[in-house]
Amino acid sequence: MICSYPWIGALTQRFGIRKVSAGGAFLALAGTLPFIWLASHGLSVAVLTCALFLRGVGLSAVGIPSISAAYASVKKRDLPMATTSFNIAQRLGGPTMTTLCATFLGWSSGSGHTHLSLSSPFVAAFILFCLLHALLFAASLRLPLSIDKTTQVSTAEEEPKILEMTE
Classify domain 5-142 by CATH architecture. Up-down Bundle (1.20)
pLDDT for 154 beyond 80 = no
Using one digit for the tens of pLDDT, what is the confidence trace for 16-43?
A: 999 999 999 999 999 999 999 998 888 8
More confident residue, 137 or 4: 137
Whole-number Cα distances in Å, 112 to 39, 101, 119, 127:
18, 18, 12, 18
Q: If you average pLDDT over every residue of the chain, what do you get? A: 83
Using one digit for the tens of pLDDT, what is the confidence trace for 101-144?
A: 888 888 877 765 555 545 688 888 899 889 999 999 999 999 88
More confident residue, 127 or 160: 127
Q: Please name which of 137, 125, 123, 124 lies closest in space to residue 30, comparing C-alpha atoms.
A: 137
> Poorest-confidence range of 41-55, 65-79, 114-128, 150-164?
150-164
- Contact assessment for residue 16 and residue 145, using Cβ atoms and an 8 Å cutoff: yes
Task: Give the per-residue pLDDT at 31.
Answer: 95
